[in-house]
Amino acid sequence: MSEQTQMDTLAYSSRMLGWAPLGKLLFVIAILIVNIATASVLVTFVTLGIGLTLMAYSTNFKIPFIIFLAILEAFAILIFGAGVISVNGTDTSTVIWDTDFLWMHFHMTVDSFNKAWLILLRGTSGIAVMLSFATSTPIPHMSLAMKQVHMPTELIEIVVLIYRYAFLLLERMEAMWNAAHSRMGFNGARTSINTVAAIAVGIFIQSTSLSDKSQIALDCRNYRGYFPVFSEPAKTGVKWLIVIVVAAVAIYMFGEYTADWINMAHLILGVE
């Protein structure tokens, strides 16, 4: 949750803040679809390039450490997944590597190798593109985008409220964490478990009390269930849709045309 609040802080200082949130969202979805639809590795390189460029523009690569860690974590999972795929080849193409290790049997073929790379690149470029969206679109803008696609308002309200109160509860959690340390609450496994449980209870109770009082405070302000955004980002116009469709189609066509241009096994391992 602290990643999300950090993300929002980042988003508010992004250069892409004022772009139409729905436009950005549709663009991201289009790119992801094209990524999956194509079999061309070159396309994934192109979309990765697009994602990284947008991220650079959006954040100037000033990424808070916690988010960087989260990205690394996602990347590590991708690599692991791709690795598993690469050593489980079941096809009939040239075998690159075949060995047994402990109880596992590794069978790497050219196809499985290429497939693994395709997935790795798809995943990475997908992450990059999604991040460019996340780092430039704070939750209130996202909720605007969601409203525009006619998602139910209750759902949107829940998302925004969770975001808002997550921050407050994080503050309380940090305070309790430090207070527990002062009384040696993390001195050993059993003590730590007890402490974490106590913190969970404490936060739960504080949150219910906060929500009660907030209800009253919001009523005092004539809150009617939606959160206004005064400086609204741009509206999604026809221009966006044209750009998205043209870009998606162009990239897909390019993918079809270049499907066999790059063979990762050939490129990296020199195998035919």
Partner 1 sequence: MALFEVRNVTYSYNSRQKRPSLNDISLKVNEGRRTAILGANGAGKSTLFYHFNGIFKPSAGEVLYNDRPLDYSKPALRELRNDICVVVQNPDEQIFSSTVESDVAFGPMSMELPRDEVDTRIREALDMVGMTDYRMRPSTQLSYGQRKRVSLAGALAVRPKVLILDEPTAGLDPQMAREVMELIDQLYCAGTTVILSTHDVDLVYSWAEDIIVLNHGELVYSGEPEEYFSDPEKTAYAGLARPHTFSVNSYVSKMRGLEESPYPRTTSQFIAKMAPEGAKGGHVRIVPVKEGTEAVEKTGAVGAYGYRAKKLVEAKGIEVDYMYDALEMCMQDAVKSKDSVLYCDEVLVDMAVDRIRSLESFGIKAEVIM
Partner 2 sequence: MTDETKLLEARNIVYYYEGNKTPSLDNVSITIKKGVKTAILGGNGAGKSTFFYHLNGVVKPASGVVLYKDVPLSYKKKAKRELCSHVAVVLQNPDDQIFGQTVKEDAEYGPKNIGLPKNEVEARAKRALEQVGLWDKRDQNSLQLSYGQRKRLSLAGALAMKPDVLIMDEPTAGLDPQMALELMELAEQLHHSGTDIVLSTHDVDLAYMWADEIHVLRKSEKVYSGKQEGFYSDSVLSYSAGLLAPSMFQMNSTLSALRGKDPAPYPRTEPQLIAKMVPDKPRGTMQIVPFKGAITQEIIDSKKSNRIVGIYGTEVRKSVASANASVDFFFGGLESCLSQLLNGEDVALFCDPDCVDLMEKKIAEMSQFGDPIQYQIEEPIVVEQHTEE
Q: Is position 9 an interface residue for partner 1 (rule: CB under 8 A)? A: yes
Nearest to 88 by CA among 75, 73, 74, 99: 99
From the list partner 2, partner 1, none, partner contacted by residue 216 (C-beta under 5 to 8 A by kind)? partner 1
**Using CA atoms, how far apart are residues 154 and 254, in angstroms rounded to an integer?**
42
Binding residue count for partner 2, defined by CB under 8 A: 24
CB 52 within 8 A of CB 128: yes
Distance, in Å, from the CA atom of 47 to the CA atom of 53, rounded to the nearest integer, reads 10
Residue 12: name its binding partner from partner 1, partner 2, none (Cβ under 5 to 8 Å by kind).
partner 1
Which pair of structure tokens corresponds to residue 12?
């508010």
- If one asks whether residue 219 binds partner 1 (CB under 8 A), the answer comes out as yes
Answer yes or no whether residue 183 interacts with partner 2 by CB under 8 A.
yes
Q: Please select the residue that binds partner 1; options are 85, 139, 144, 199, rule is CB under 8 A.
A: 139
* Residue 200 in the binding site for partner 2 (CB under 8 A): no
Are the C-beta atoms of 106 and 140 separated by less than 8 Å? no
Q: How far is CA 82 from CA 86, 89, 117, in A?
A: 6, 12, 7
Q: Which residues bind partner 2 (CB under 8 A)?
A: 6, 64-65, 172, 175-176, 178-185, 187-188, 191, 194-195, 198-199, 202, 205-206
Residues in touch with partner 1 (CB under 8 A): 5, 8-9, 12, 138-140, 163-164, 167-168, 210, 213-214, 216-224, 227-231
